[in-house]
Amino acid sequence: MIVKALEWIGGIDGFLEIVDQRKLPADFVKLKCRDVETLFEAIKTLAVRGAPALGVCAAYGLVLSLQKSSDSDDPRRELEILSRYARYLASSRPTAVNLFWALERIQATAQKFVDDRPDATTKALRETILAEANAVCREDVDMCRRIGENGEKFINEGDGILTHCNAGALATAGQGTALSVLFEAHKNKKKFRVYACETRPLLQGARLTAWELKQAGIDVTIICDNMAGWMMKQSKINTVITGADRIAANGDTANKIGTYSLSILAREHGLPFYIAAPSSTFDLSIKSGKEILIEQRAAEEITQFARTQIAPPGVGACNPAFDVTEAGDITAIITEKGVIEKPDSGSILRLLNCGTNKQ
């Protein structure tokens, strides 16, 4: 079984329903977001997370933003409301580029609709925005499947595969990015074992990835983050695959903190290191990973565990949510459009512009 992480319920006056990932794996609870403020809090506190999922949620968030506006038939006033709430949602998390991509896409659609139809009603505008948000969601589902189909050839019979954080169905509207590759390989009857790094400090690997893989019937073993190198040396692991939150024009990739360390370990042990991500995760406006803004999260995520203090009171903690893996340490980036082997600025542009890799 592959879980459905999010779903829009109803029409323009509907709501967004998400799986509350803060509760997993102990409880499977769905959270109903009926206003933008609830969605903002869900994103900020990681009730919903994962770059593609944040993009879809952002799109639906702009549908929610117009539900409480007045019924005055003024579409241009609605555009002002959209802009205000887009800025609000964009401030929820700074690193995952899909969030900003989706907000810009919905606003551009709304602007074009109003420009092309001066006499359009606000109801028609809201229906257009919902239709575009639904399109973002459908495309995400299709994107996940195609990433899996493009990447499953890298999974061999008997492989030991390491993954980090969660890049599965819980991180998307579909079946995931990195985990989609594993789901497709499993569908093709390949036998392999997955090692899921627990992913400190919030344990997305232990709580979410292991839960998803177990639900799908895939052999999964949890390891502590600091065990990966030794497992590689023992030949338990021979492939690494992760997702991504933002990819620079040169292929440098931001992902959950700890990914950079795994890329160095993979290089030292001569193992392939794959990134699986949609084309919407590329940010061609930045030349390299040095320009990626890294989110800093609360110290309490490290100094406390399940609200229990595990560090001396008053001790500081550094808590960057992401790190950046250099393109030179990435064997290939698997996208819905194709595979970019030995990624660099040229190969990335060719794939994004043409939809096929010319290497």
Q: CA 142, CA 148: separation in Å to the nearest integer?
A: 10
Q: CA 9, CA 184: separation in Å to the nearest integer?
A: 28
Q: CA 126, CA 343: separation in Å to the nearest integer?
A: 40
Question: Which one, of 237, 183, 239, 250, lies nearest residue 212 by Cα?
Answer: 183
Q: What are the two backbone dihedrals, phi and then psi, of residue 283, each rounded to the nearest 5 degrees? A: -120, 95
Q: Is 245 annotated as catalytic?
A: yes
Q: CA 261, CA 225: separation in Å to the nearest integer?
A: 10
Query: Of the listed 140, 245, 252, 323, which one is catalytic?
Result: 245
- Output the DSSP codes for 129-182: HHHHHHHHHHHHHHHHHHHHHHHGGG--TT-EEEE-S--BGGGSSSSBSHHHHH
Total residue length of the chain:
359
Query: Given phi > 0 = left and psi -120 to 50 = alpha, else beta, which region is 293?
Result: beta
Q: CA 174, CA 42: separation in Å to the nearest integer?
A: 19
Residues classed as catalytic: 245
